[in-house]
Structure 1
Amino acid sequence: SSNYKKSTNCKAEAEYAFNRKSKIIPLVVEPKYKADGWLGFLAGSKIYVDFADKEGEEFDKAYDSLLEELRRNGLDDTNEGKDNTTAVETTTESESKPEEPIKEPEQPCIQTREYLSVPVASMWHENHVQEFLIDNQLNQLIPICESMDGEALIEFHHACETKPDIRYGLLYNPKGEHSLSFGTFFKFIAKLKKYLPKKPIPKLYFRYNFIYPSSNSTVVGTTDKETNQSK
């Protein structure tokens, strides 16, 4: 639909699924809508299932088409028809299975803190990165940052701050592989900032004009002076 195309969250979700080479089945929910732009690229020549303005028997046919597409794409676990699906939808909340919490990776028993002797993260080795994560209780990031040195960790930190698709992939991983909690994500952003290389101090230039009095004419002298501005 046009609203789906306009949504940045939907775009990030669709691009993530495409990059993961997941099965994509386009559903049309807006009458006479034709996907274009990024949505048209992702949908490509795939078979669309049209649910727009469908009621009664037409909706049932569209639903059957969706089930057939799921089976054709190797997703056979469709509860064998609408009757079973309806039964699942009408179960009470008490009967539904609660979501399992994200499990923290086990923390190594022996851990040093040599990274503290290297104040700038760009100079960290791989073991320094692991020490930093464990010392700050960022264990969920350990498998994600495996084999990263300090420079790679800084690039990862920058991507987490500036790229929505990276954030979405970390926080909403549909398969639960290395998913992060919001607390761990924002704690990592905050904790690493103190170890980032300092930005160069901006320079300001001032121009002074000197007027020298003279009996016949006025001479104007100019000099430039450079100074550093410290915050």
Structure 2
Amino acid sequence: MGAFDGLVAVVTGGASGIGAAVASRLHSDGARVVVLDRDLPEGAPAPVMGLPDGVLGVRADVTDSAGVSSAVEQVVATCGGIDILVNNAGIGAQGDVAGNDDAEWARVLDVNVIGIARVSRACLPHLRASEHAAIVNTSSIAATAGLPQRALYSASKGAVLALTRAMAADHVREGIRVNCVSPGTADTPWIGRLLDAADDPEAERAALRARQPHGRLVDPVEVADAVAYLANPHSHSTVGVSLAVDGGMHELRLRPQ
């Protein structure tokens, strides 16, 4: 039997990258998984290309409250409830503090921070009815380490870290555990697009690998493994934590080679 047998998991931003890895891992451990993603077609929950058979998808934009509520109700109507929520949907941003205008600041915060609030708010009544309720948010090493040219992105992920702890305090006595995972630079489609746009993609990839003490990019499967631990019903006493999956970037201080 899998650790998640009989449980229903919702993964936002689950059609690609880290979200797809999380959806696949939870499914392999026995969960009924529904991904919410703005890049899916309209309609009833349906299989998602590139994900394992049995994983369903519903189109939802986390910046649209009505759309989120409708998608959550579709999940409940199809699966009977919600036990696990993985708030993974997010977008990136580059530049120093003057590098983005007000509209871009509002757009990124709307997706990365308020999006978590919207989806969590819609799922809370169903999570309260579960005996194994867990929420896992996706933060980042950018929440705790000062990275160059990531002012807006870092601000959004720092807010996710603070929001995670506040949510954990609010809901732990309701039986809902809230934690977050904080990846380092992961080998995702977004990073791939950044590298493709660089003047020297190979040099930029080498620099990103070297920045992490273990010398490589983080594999999305490794992040999925951490999410599975945080969401696991047996992790009763893991509440309000940020679990780093960053090759040691947060804690280690190695001498230059």
* Common topology (TM > 0.5): no
More strand per residue: 1 or 2?
Answer: 2
| Superposition TM-score, scaled by structure 2 size | 0.28
| Superposition TM-score, scaled by structure 1 size | 0.30
Q: Which has the higher contact order (CA 8 A, sep 6+)?
A: 2
